[in-house]
Amino acid sequence: MRSLLLAAVAGAFSAGVGSGATQVVGGSTIRIQAAPWTVFVQQQSGLTTFLCTGSVVDASHILTAAHCVYNDAGALAAPAALGIRAGVSNLSSPLKTDAEQDRPVSAIRVHPSYVWTGRPAPDDVAVLALATPLDLSGPAVQAIPLPTAGTAFPSGAAVAVAGFGRESPTVSSSGQLASMTGTVDAQGTCGSTEDGMLANNGILVCASSSTGAVCNGDSGSGLVTVGATPTLIGVVSDGTSNCDSGTHGVFTYIGAPEILDFVQGNDDPPLAPRATETTTLDLKWNPPLVVGSTVSCATGGWSGDRSRFTYAFVNLATGRVLQAGPKSTYPIPLTAAGATIACEVTAVNDGGTTLAETKPTSAVGPAPMPRILRIRPLAAARGQGIEMRVTVDAPRGLSGKVSVCLAPPKTVAGRLCRSTVNSDGAARDVPFIFDFRVKPGAPLGTSPITITATAGVSKATASAPLRVTKS
Question: Which residues make beta-bridge pairs with 40?
Answer: 53, 85
Contact 48, 10 (CB under 8 A): yes
Query: Is 1 among the domain residues?
Result: no
Query: Is 273 among the domain residues?
Result: no
Q: How many separate domains does the chain show?
A: 3
Same domain, 130 and 254: yes
Q: Report, in angstroms and rounded to the nearest whole number, the Rg of the chain calculated over CA atoms.
A: 34
Question: pLDDT of 413-469, one tens digit each?
Answer: 999 999 999 877 788 899 999 999 999 999 999 999 999 999 878 899 999 999 999
Alpha-helix runs per DSSP H in 364-404: none
How wide is the angle at C-alpha 251 spanned by C-alphas 245 and 252, nearest 5°? 175
Same domain, 378 and 462: yes
Considering Cα of 76, then 80, then 85, then 91, what sign does the dihedral take?
Answer: negative
Q: How far apart are CA 68 and CA 51, in angstroms?
A: 8
Looking at residue 10, its pLDDT comes to 41
Q: Which residues contact 89 (CB under 8 A, 6 or more apart)?
A: 29, 30, 31, 32, 95, 97, 98, 176, 177
Same domain, 82 and 194: yes
Same domain, 431 and 294: no
Looking at residue 403, its pLDDT comes to 95
Same domain, 122 and 54: yes
Looking at residue 228, its pLDDT comes to 86
Same domain, 220 and 289: no
Query: Is 204 among the domain residues?
Result: yes
Same domain, 194 and 321: no
Name the region of 388 (left: φ>0; alpha: ψ -120 to 50; beta: rest): beta
Query: Is 4 among the domain residues?
Result: no
Question: pLDDT of 108-129, one tens digit each?
Answer: 999 999 999 988 899 999 999 9
Q: Exposed/middle/buried for 420, CB within 10 Å: 0-12, 13-18, 19+?
A: middle
Structural domain boundaries enclosing 301: 280-357
Domain at 77, CATH number: 2.40.10.10
Query: Is 214 among the domain residues?
Result: yes
Task: State the pairing for strand pair 458-469/378-381.
Answer: parallel
Domain at 304, CATH number: 2.60.40
Q: Residue 69 to residues 86, 124, 219, 262: CA-CA distances in angstroms? A: 18, 10, 11, 17
Same domain, 306 and 249: no
Query: Is 226 among the domain residues?
Result: yes
Same domain, 185 and 48: yes
Q: How far apart are CA 116 and CA 72, in angstroms?
A: 10
Same domain, 251 and 296: no
